[in-house]
Amino acid sequence: MTSREEMLRLRTITEALMPLISEPPTLAVILGSGLGALADLIETPVSIKFENIPDFHASTVAGHHGRLIFGRLQQVQVAVMQGRIHAYEGHDMPTVVRLLRALHLLGAKDLLVTNAAGGINPRFGAGDFMIINDHLNLMGVNPLRGPNLDELGPRFPDMSQAYDAELISLAAEAAAHTNVQIHQGIYAACSGPSYETPAEVRMLALLGADAVGMSTVPEVIAARHMGMRVTGISCISNAAAGLSGQPLSHVEVEQTANRVSQDFIALILHFIELYRTH
């Protein structure tokens, strides 16, 4: 696939979405596994299913509603992906980040990305949250591989500050204000869909990872390539393999996310309020 072909796909998406919005989004939000309830609070929502967006696909994972919703949260114009698609569903990386790229072309300048993750740091408990301050890309692939989309960003984007320091500070302030248990740490992204083995989790701990999941990093890389500021928040849904003595399941991920849903909503709403006023 050439860069021209991908840009044509992006323009097709933006042309399809443009009639749905009354004003451009400022903030793009991606809601991870089990965290989609926030989307129900969007004011004047306009919704479209992923599969009805040109050159995009339905999400096949439980806990991902697979909808794009335009509207307002805390007086901020947002574009919210209620769920995401993953590489492990069989998609290549340009497809995984395609909708985010289109949202940037529609006007989104910043990205708030969320996920459910397995806790590696022994201080983390199920139901805690973690502000991502750096990541390890262990997926074996990069969304920028192939011809560079020069219209979007440079061939070799700097990733030394993948997660914006000011937005990290706002997320920490929001957590303090809402009394939500939160940490900061490094997120490791693996390809999935199988969970990591206990040996792999021990390796990740040695590499400095505090939590592990199967998403987020592709979107962050694509966002930084386009010059978007990024903040990321993980919901620690369970202890990673070998740390609890229990087998892992996606049901546990959804149950934990549902249990802390109100804390998550309070945290994100206050973050967006602080975002608006800074």
Could you confirm whether 52 is annotated as catalytic? no
pLDDT band at 182 (very low <50, low <70, confident <90, very high): very high
Contacts of 166 (CB under 8 A, 6+ apart): 229, 278
Mean pLDDT lowest for which of 11-15, 120-124, 222-226, 237-241? 237-241
Structural domain of 153: 3-277
CATH number of the domain enclosing 271: 3.40.50.1580
Q: Which two tokens stand for residue 74?
A: 């805390």
Could you confirm whether 191 is annotated as catalytic? no
Could you confirm whether 177 is annotated as catalytic? no
pLDDT band at 241 (very low <50, low <70, confident <90, very high): low
- Tell me the residue type at 41: L
- What are the pLDDT digits (tens) for 9-23? 999 999 999 999 989
The residue from 115, 121, 137, 238 that is catalytic is: 238
The residue from 28, 79, 81, 86 that is catalytic is: 86
Q: How many CB atoms lie within 10 A of CB 145?
A: 10
Mean pLDDT lowest for which of 2-6, 166-170, 201-205, 232-236? 2-6
- What are the pLDDT digits (tens) for 67-110? 999 999 999 999 999 989 999 999 999 999 999 999 999 999 99
pLDDT band at 61 (very low <50, low <70, confident <90, very high): confident
Could you confirm whether 89 is annotated as catalytic? yes
Could you confirm whether 223 is annotated as catalytic? no
Select from 93, 99, 123 the least CA-distant residue to 113. 99
**pTM assigned to the model:** 0.95
The total of structural domains in the chain comes to: 1
